[in-house]
Structure 1
Amino acid sequence: MLLKGYIKSIYNEIKVLSLLNQLTALLSHSSEANFVKKYFDSSRGKVDGHRDVRLIKSYSVYRKDHEKRFVECGYDRLNRQLLWHGTKCANLDGILRDGFVLSFKDNLLFGNGVYFSDRVTNSCNYSDQTNYGFLLLCEVSTGVIFKTEYPKQYMEAPDRYDSVQGIGKYIPEPNTSILYDDIEVPLGNTIVNKHKKTSLSELDFNEYVVFNP
């Protein structure tokens, strides 16, 4: 997804399309493009300190080798969600070519995992802070989720859980998720989380962390 403003259009699009022959631009009037835009628009949240964005163009990526690995690991049998991932342009080709790798940094709230969000506003913070950026909309095998408001350096999900969710101050409207090809999609608009128990959390939005990409 290319966000906000015009991209040095032809050069950047050719650069993206040349990464993989499995990458194609979605027709703006196609059902898939319309669904992506609907999710994008509903998951924008006008929150102080976070930029507003608009969707410029969508691409579809399919890697047979990635799908094979996904199935072989049994991820297709777990609960799955369609979630956003923001990344710098410099990282995009590596992700599309090789998939996600764990990030080993000291300042991650929930340890060294791959981070996703159900709010596009949140994921945009991790893309390039210029007039345009890239987002990935990913099928994520979250499985059984351990939910918490308290940051902790996890090396893996706790026993009997498959992933970790940091609970944010702003969340999708409850009971608005739909199934899209058997994948959960939180399509609700962004609202204040009235059930958040503590103000100690640093999270404005939900973060989902997986440790075995």
Structure 2
Amino acid sequence: MKMGNGPYSIAFPVIGTGAMQFHKRLFKTIYRTLLEFMHNNPGALKCAYIIIYPENEEVKDYASYITPEEEKERIGYKVSFPRSWPVRKDICRIKLEESDNDYLRVAAKLRETIVSDIDIIKIERIVNKRLYITSRWYRNKFPECPTEELWHGTKHGAIDGIIRYGFDWRLVENHAFGKGCYFCDKAFYSDCFTEQNNQDEQCMFLVDVTIGKTIAGKEALTEVDLDEEVQTAIGMYEDDRGNINIFVTFDDDQIYPLFLIVYKKKRN
């Protein structure tokens, strides 16, 4: 991308949504990325074009759901950041002391449903001001919607990407209840999706999720299939450890990663 005193124009094709069958939600990803760049770099671009193949009616129809005024309001939303956050850092991880109230609360919540006997290696508070702004905007947009703190187990290699960019529904390997991001109210189930590193450590996020109105999940479900009042799909399992509720979100702004917990299972 050419930079300078501008103004310049740029065009992006929605690559892959044709023969390669990438999901049409790629359009929103490109749109929001361009809009955020232009918001954070005023004067760098005169305009940006997103090119859709003329015969791709599915993507064109999806694009019509996006409201430019609302998207601009989203990235410019004003918030007050938590006092514990550093002023000069936009993205970082803060290791909590074991005496910290948040450490004690999160550790107790994890042990409540993890089932296994574990040692907690560390708990880190996640700071990402961009994700925080858009999640607060979403919550302000739906003030009556209930929220929950839910678990998301992951691999160590995915941690940095989640902290920097948020959760990516495209990386979900199993879409049993819809093509979105998956969270659970039981830590023992989210633990199944973690991987041990060479120190036998596993990792899990505790995530702030705006639930809103729900619908029963199904494999092919996407955000386009939801009516205006529905935000989340729910799936349920049962096993001898109790009922498992799985929540599937379809909007990136519904979720904010609060804490990262690194733990190790004790050997018998």
Following superposition of structure 1 onto structure 2, how do residues 54-69 of structure 1 map, counting pairs within 5 Å?
54-69=119-134
Deviation at 1:108, TM superposition (A): 1.8
Question: 2: distance between equivalents of 1:142 and 1:43?
Answer: 20
Q: Does 1:31 align with 2:98?
A: no
Greater Cα radius of gyration, structure 1 or 2: 2
- State the secondary structure of the residue aligned to 1:70: helix
Q: Which residue of 1 aligns with 2:176?
A: 109
Residues 141-178 of structure 1, C-alpha deviation per residue, up to 9 Å, x if partnerless? 11112246xx43211263332101111215xxxxxxxx
State the distance in 1 between where 2:103 and 2:120 align: 10
User: Taking structure 1 as reference, are residues 61 and 105 closer, same or farther at Cα in structure 2, changes over 3 Å only?
Assistant: closer
1:164 to 233, 237, 247: 233
**What is the 5 A alignment of 1:45-194?**
45=115, 53-74=118-139, 77=143, 78-103=145-170, 107-130=174-197, 131-147=200-216, 151-156=218-223, 158-159=226-227, 160-170=229-239, 192-193=242-243
Hey, what's the Cα distance between the residues in 2 that align with 1:106 and 1:117?
16
Q: Is the 8 A contact 2:114 2:191 kept in 1?
A: no
- Distance in 2 (CA, whole Å) between partners of 1:89 and 1:169 is 28
Deviations 1:70-117 (A, max 9, x none): 123346723111001111111111110111122266742012110001
- 1:53 Cα offset (Å): 4.1
Aligned residues of 2:172 and 2:181 also touching (Cα < 8 A): no
The percent of aligned pairs where both chains have the same amino acid is: 23
CA contact (8 A) 1:104 1:112 kept: no
Contact residue 90 and residue 130 of structure 2 kept, 8 A: no
Whole-Å separation in 2 of the counterparts to 1:107 and 1:59: 28
Residue type of the alignment partner of 1:134: C
Structure 1 equivalent of residue 246 of structure 2: 207
Q: Could you tell me the TM-score, scaled by structure 2's length?
A: 0.53
Give distance in 2, aligned partners of 1:59 and 1:100.
17
Q: Go from structure 1 to structure 2 and tell me whether the alpha carbon gap of 1:22 and 1:145 turns closer, same or farther (over 3 Å shift).
A: same
Which piece of structure 1 moves more, 33-42 or 71-80?
A: 71-80
Q: Higher relative contact order by CA 8 Å / sep ≥ 6: 1 or 2?
A: 1
1:164, 1:21 → 2: CA distance? 30
What stretches of structure 2 of length at least 5 have no aligned partner?
1-88, 253-268
Counterparts in 2 of 1:70 and 1:125: CA distance versus 1, 3 Å: same
Q: Using the alignment, how far apart are the partners of 2:201 and 2:172 within structure 1? A: 25
> Counterpart of 2:170 in 1: which secondary structure?
coil
In structure 1, what residue type is equivalent to 2:122?
K
| Helix, strand or coil at the partner of 2:169 | coil
Q: Distance in 2 between matches of 1:21 and 1:74?
A: 21
Q: Which moved more, 1:80-89 or 1:20-29?
A: 20-29
Whether the 8 Å contact between 1:20 and 1:97 is mirrored in structure 2 is no
More helix by share: 2
Larger strand proportion, structure 1 or 2?
A: 2
